[in-house]
């Protein structure tokens, strides 16, 4: 009966109506199926180009990088990447020439590291160390295999002793390195294109094994990695998800093996990630603040004391990732502060450079603002180490308010602070001065200071309000650059004595002159004052002038006003995959209630130990698997998840078991959601399409019958 009714209904449908209805139904069905596929793929955007196609290695060398030896005036490390097809990696070295190269020396690579990537292909990193070089000499080089070569590149050895030079500082790049951090890399290189070195303060990338992320990091720096020595400190993301330091580190960064070596285990742990090198009167010391507990912290601390005690240079610069004084997110790195701060102060280290906090901060201990030289003002001067935190990439955190800031809680003066801004630093070392400028990614001067040292060792750090018009790294030979001001030391009653003019020669000297020309005014007049509003106006920002405030507490600190009201109230939850987990094993967790797309921090208390930095989805939910370090003491602990924007926290108790123990209280944290909905929609769409096809089939069969009647 029902079949006869359906047949009569179909016969009454006109061909045009049937085709129109069928087309609409088919479109709906296809949209439903497409929607199911889109849901399953977790988005509606077309898929990006496969990163394996973008970053796959070949016989053509890429990721070429210079890293310093312990004697950069006479030797140079060079590393590069190829496919596994390359079996005879080598480097060619030639004298600097104004035209094509007619003679070169070929040196075989000293080491090759091969491993499979997360993108499915296998790569090789090669390293060669060039020796017997002349100091202060420019060379040309290229890398290859005898048939396939890179372009010819340049580097210049350092002077053996103290001479003027510039270096660059870059904070965390970490996320969206190609899209955003590349701007900071380029801007800094434009400011000092002939700097001798670039210091990276950790978290170069987000995931330690991501070949595409390392490819973006090298691509963002461009040719500068192959022209300037790269001095990098490991961050926590070079260990994420870990548990060990990324295998890329030792493969692509060849650093002096002069770190702590108390035992074989200590030597292996710090190989090429804790080290020092001396460049033209500055000792650069790199520490690993990820290893900040127990024997590993003790070994670094003893080594740091020795390396500073034996420093023959005028200047000392120390870099590592997690800061002594944290700027943001309620952090407190007490273990390294207790161990290293007394040593920095004892040896009056000049610069202590750090990242990790995704904001900018610069300051000193209040105690170093006492007993200043005659003429110096505590509002703009101090005599001790400068502690500086910076960020180069786009990931930003909110600075803590004054009443709970980690600086003021530890007797430190936070002189300058900034948020939501990508920054870079240039440092010029010249004639008893170390001049530091912090610029926004768009080039405006945000903060500046000069460290002055007299011949008898007296030191004064003075805040500045104007940028230097040039530095030793501004041109190849610092010829034709604007004049710099004559240094004036507060309390010094003697007039500065002009230095003689440099002798002229038919050819420009390849090195900067050792002494700047004095000017008649202590202030540079060729550079305008920085703009009055370099920062975004949508959030509480530092004051419009980079000058320090007139009170002992900085007014540039963001206020403690509440976040914009368009954000929901954060009320996070947490579930763990087990109540007990062995040290060295992994633990999963999930929850919701954070702000949409908020960055989170997961820590294991009470040390605390950072376990990772997941991101909530657009609904405020998260799912994260953390590795519990093997060295965690068995017993009761707490997992804490903090929202780095909302400040909301949630915690859960966890028992850490002895290594090798079976987990207890296991729970399935399977994630369900839109993927299942998408599949259901796709099935419904498929059923609808099948119905439409059936309708059209019946219609086609019915049409000849009507014509024959």
The backbone torsions φ and ψ at residue 405, rounded to the nearest 5 degrees and listed phi first, read -75, 140
- Asked if the peptide bond before residue 241 counts as cis, ω within 30 degrees of 0, the response is yes
Report yes or no: 89 and 108 within 8 Å, Cβ to Cβ: yes
What is the model's pTM?
0.70
Which DSSP symbol is given to 167?
Answer: E
Containing 631, the helix (H) or strand (E) segment is none
**Using CA atoms, how far apart are residues 280 and 160, in angstroms rounded to an integer?**
6
Report yes or no: 310 and 298 within 8 Å, Cβ to Cβ: no
In the prediction, which pLDDT does 646 show?
82
In the prediction, which pLDDT does 3 show?
42
Of the listed ranges 46-50, 173-177, 199-203, 401-405, the one predicted with least confidence:
46-50
Nearest Cα residue to 73 out of 187, 162, 186, 202: 162
The pLDDT tens digits for 413-451 are 999 999 999 999 999 999 899 999 999 999 999 999 999
Q: How far from the centroid of its chain's Cα atoms is residue 666's Cα?
A: 36
The pLDDT tens digits for 674-696 are 333 344 444 444 544 555 455 55
**Using CA atoms, how far apart are residues 146 and 128, in angstroms rounded to an integer?**
15
**Using CA atoms, how far apart are residues 448 and 172, in angstroms rounded to an integer?**
20
In the prediction, which pLDDT does 12 show?
45
The backbone torsions φ and ψ at residue 351, rounded to the nearest 5 degrees and listed phi first, read -130, 130
DSSP SS3 for 257: coil
Tokens of 348: 């009056």
Of the listed ranges 17-26, 303-312, 593-602, the one predicted with least confidence:
17-26
- Mean of pLDDT over the chain: 82
**Using CA atoms, how far apart are residues 491 and 188, in angstroms rounded to an integer?**
34
Nearest Cα residue to 124 out of 158, 79, 161, 163: 79
Q: First CA to last CA across the chain, in angstroms? A: 23
**Using CA atoms, how far apart are residues 139 and 513, in angstroms rounded to an integer?**
20
In the prediction, which pLDDT does 563 show?
41
Which DSSP symbol is given to 675?
Answer: H
Q: Which residues pair with 649 in a beta bridge?
A: 642
In the prediction, which pLDDT does 611 show?
85
**pLDDT over 60 at 705, yes or no:** no
Place of tokens 């069905």: 29
**Using CA atoms, how far apart are residues 327 and 601, in angstroms rounded to an integer?**
15
CA angle 161, 186, 190 (to 5 degrees): 60
Of the listed ranges 16-30, 175-189, 256-270, 445-459, the one predicted with least confidence:
16-30
The pLDDT tens digits for 472-494 are 999 885 444 445 555 555 555 44
Of the listed ranges 63-72, 278-287, 436-445, 508-517, the one predicted with least confidence:
508-517
Span 403-419, average pLDDT:
94
In the prediction, which pLDDT does 701 show?
52
**pLDDT over 80 at 253, yes or no:** yes
Instruction: Select the more confidently predicted residue: 499 or 94.
Output: 94
Classify strands 282-286 and 275-279 as parallel, antiparallel or unpaired. antiparallel
Tokens of 520: 């008649």
What does the DSSP assignment read for 94-154?
EE--SS-----EEEE-SEEEEEE-TTS-EEEEEEEEE-SPPTT-EEEEEEESSSSB---EE
DSSP SS3 for 181: helix
Tokens of 176: 């969206």
What does the DSSP assignment read for 182-195?
HHHHHHHHHHSTT-
Q: How far from the centroid of its chain's Cα atoms is residue 318's Cα?
A: 17
């Amino acid at each position: 009966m029902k079949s006869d009714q359906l047949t009569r209904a179909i016969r009454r449908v006109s061909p045009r109506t049937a085709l129109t209805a069928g087309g609409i139904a088919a479109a709906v069905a296809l949209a439903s199926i497409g929607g199911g596929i889109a849901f399953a793929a977790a988005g509606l955007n077309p898929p990006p180009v496969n990163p394996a196609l973008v970053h796959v290695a070949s016989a053509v060398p890429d990721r070429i990088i210079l890293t310093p030896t312990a004697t950069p005036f006479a030797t140079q490390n060079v590393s590069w990447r190829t496919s596994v097809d390359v079996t005879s990696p080598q480097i060619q070295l030639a004298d600097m020439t104004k035209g094509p190269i007619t003679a070169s020396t070929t040196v075989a690579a000293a080491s090759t590291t091969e491993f499979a990537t997360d993108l499915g292909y296998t790569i090789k990193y090669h390293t060669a160390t060039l020796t017997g070089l002349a100091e202060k000499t420019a060379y040309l080089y290229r890398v290859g295999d005898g048939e396939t070569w890179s372009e010819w590149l340049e580097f210049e050895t350092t002077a053996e002793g103290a001479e003027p030079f510039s270096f660059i500082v870059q904070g965390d790049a970490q996320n969206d390195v190609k899209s955003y951090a590349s701007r900071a890399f380029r801007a800094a290189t434009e400011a000092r294109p002939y700097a001798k070195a670039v210091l990276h303060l950790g978290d170069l990338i987000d995931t330690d094994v991501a070949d595409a992320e390392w490819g973006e990091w090298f691509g963002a720096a461009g040719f500068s990695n192959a022209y300037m020595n790269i001095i990098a400190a490991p961050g926590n993301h070079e260990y994420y998800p870990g548990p060990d330091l990324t295998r890329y580190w030792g493969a692509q960064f060849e650093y002096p093996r002069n770190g702590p070596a108390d035992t074989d285990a200590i030597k292996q742990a710090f190989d090429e990630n804790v080290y020092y090198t001396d460049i033209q009167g500055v000792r650069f010391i790199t520490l690993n603040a990820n290893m900040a507990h127990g024997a590993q912290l003790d070994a670094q601390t003893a080594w740091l004391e020795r390396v500073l005690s034996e420093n023959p240079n005028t200047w000392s610069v120390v870099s590592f990732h997690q800061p002594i004084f944290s700027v943001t997110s309620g952090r407190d790195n007490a273990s390294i502060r207790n161990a290293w701060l007394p040593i920095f102060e004892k040896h009056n280290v000049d610069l202590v450079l750090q990242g990790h906090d995704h904001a900018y901060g610069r300051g000193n201990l209040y105690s170093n603002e006492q007993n200043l030289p005659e003429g110096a003002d505590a509002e703009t001067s101090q005599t001790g180490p400068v502690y500086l935190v910076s960020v180069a990439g786009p990931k930003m955190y909110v600075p803590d308010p004054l009443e709970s800031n980690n600086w003021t809680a530890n007797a430190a003066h936070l002189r300058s602070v900034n948020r939501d801004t990508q920054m870079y630093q240039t440092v010029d070392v010249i004639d008893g001065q170390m001049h530091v400028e912090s610029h926004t990614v768009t080039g405006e001067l945000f903060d500046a200071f000069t460290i002055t040292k007299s011949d008898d060792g007296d030191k004064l750090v003075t805040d500045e309000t104007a940028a230097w018009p040039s530095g030793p790294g501004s041109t190849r030979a610092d010829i034709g650059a604007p004049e710099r001001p004559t240094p004036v030391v507060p309390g010094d009653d003697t007039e500065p004595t002009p230095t003689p003019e440099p002798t002229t020669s038919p050819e420009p000297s390849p090195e900067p002159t050792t002494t700047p020309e004095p000017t008649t005014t202590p202030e540079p007049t060729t550079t305008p004052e920085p703009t009055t509003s370099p920062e975004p106006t949508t959030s509480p920002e530092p004051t419009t002038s980079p000058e320090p405030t007139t009170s002992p507490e900085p007014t540039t600190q963001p206020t403690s006003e509440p976040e914009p009201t368009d954000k929901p109230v954060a009320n996070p939850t947490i579930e763990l995959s087990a109540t007990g987990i062995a040290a060295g094993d992994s633990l999963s967790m999930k929850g919701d209630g954070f702000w949409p797309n908020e960055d989170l921090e997961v820590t294991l208390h009470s040390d605390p130990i950072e376990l990772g930095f997941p991101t909530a989805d657009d609904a405020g939910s998260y799912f994260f698997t953390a590795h519990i370090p093997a060295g965690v003491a068995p017993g009761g602990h707490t997992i804490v998840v903090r929202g780095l924007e909302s400040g909301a926290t949630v915690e859960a108790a966890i028992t850490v078991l002895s290594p090798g123990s079976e987990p207890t209280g296991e729970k399935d944290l399977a994630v369900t959601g839109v993927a299942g909905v998408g599949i259901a929609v796709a099935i419904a769409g498929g059923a609808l399409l099948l119905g439409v096809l059936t309708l059209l089939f019946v219609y086609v069969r019915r049409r000849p019958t009507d014509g024959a009647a």
